[in-house]
Amino acid sequence: MDADAFWALIEQSGRETRTQKRRLIWLDAQLSELPADDIIDFQMWLDVCEYRSNTWELWVAYLLTLPLGSDDGFLYFRYWLVGLGRGTFERVVADPDTLIEVPEVLHLWKVIRKRAGKKRLWTDDEWPEFELLAYVAWEPYKKRTGLDLTTLHEKAHARTDLDDDDYEIRGEQWIIDSEEELTRRFPRIAYYREGRT
């Protein structure tokens, strides 16, 4: 499975289903029909996307854009970003300031403002996290090979040129408590944060 085939599966899963739960079921069914090598490749491409999006700039954009951000939340957010498809993923990874222009993020901002003061602000599918996408290849791989997830991850990792420590956050880290610096680096996000939507 090459990158095009990986993204085709991700994007078709979004077109074919309405919720994350249904999407996982759809992907499980599709992956279960593939040879073990393709399932390994799917996991490899997912791991590569997780690595590529693990940057300081995207981390800061995530914290500025979404309430209740956390370390785990940032990981699950990056899988959600993969779930939005190749075009959105590539655009936001290349320029994290464009995160605020993703339609699903703008929708969430409107939901939060509209439901302000209510106990439940958003649904699970509106919140930008997709943790379970990280595990979707596990069962198909086990069904196909009888092997466990450790073997899947070892084989997927062996197909990349990443070292074990490559999964640390990448990029120049800088102090984020300067509004002037944040505005300079993230003008689009600053624009929306000031309420000018």
CB < 8 Å & 24+ apart, contacts of 177-185: 182/60, 182/64, 185/57, 185/60, 185/97
Residue from 132, 66, 55, 74 nearest 99 by CA: 66
Domain that holds residue 90: 3-193
Measured CA to CA, the distance from residue 46 to residue 133 in angstroms comes to: 9
Take residue 188 and report the two structure tokens written for it: 């689009």
Measured CA to CA, the distance from residue 60 to residue 69 in angstroms comes to: 10
Give me the tens of pLDDT residue by residue for the chain, a chain 197 residues long: 999 999 999 999 999 999 999 999 999 999 999 999 999 999 999 999 999 999 999 999 999 888 667 889 999 999 999 999 999 999 999 999 999 999 999 888 777 777 665 655 667 777 899 999 999 999 999 999 999 888 999 999 999 988 766 678 889 888 887 888 888 999 999 888 776 54
CB-count exposure of residue 158 (10 Å: 0-12, 13-18, 19+): exposed
Place of tokens 């610096």: 181
Statement: the pTM of the whole predicted model exceeds 0.95: no
| pLDDT at site 178 | 80
Supply φ then ψ for residue 196, to 5 degrees. Answer: -95, 65
**What type of residue is 109?**
W
Cβ within 8 Å of residue 92, ≥6 positions away: 53, 58, 61, 81, 98, 99, 102
Measured CA to CA, the distance from residue 100 to residue 108 in angstroms comes to: 10
Domain count, the chain: 1
Supply φ then ψ for residue 2, to 5 degrees. Answer: -90, 180
| pLDDT at site 108 | 84
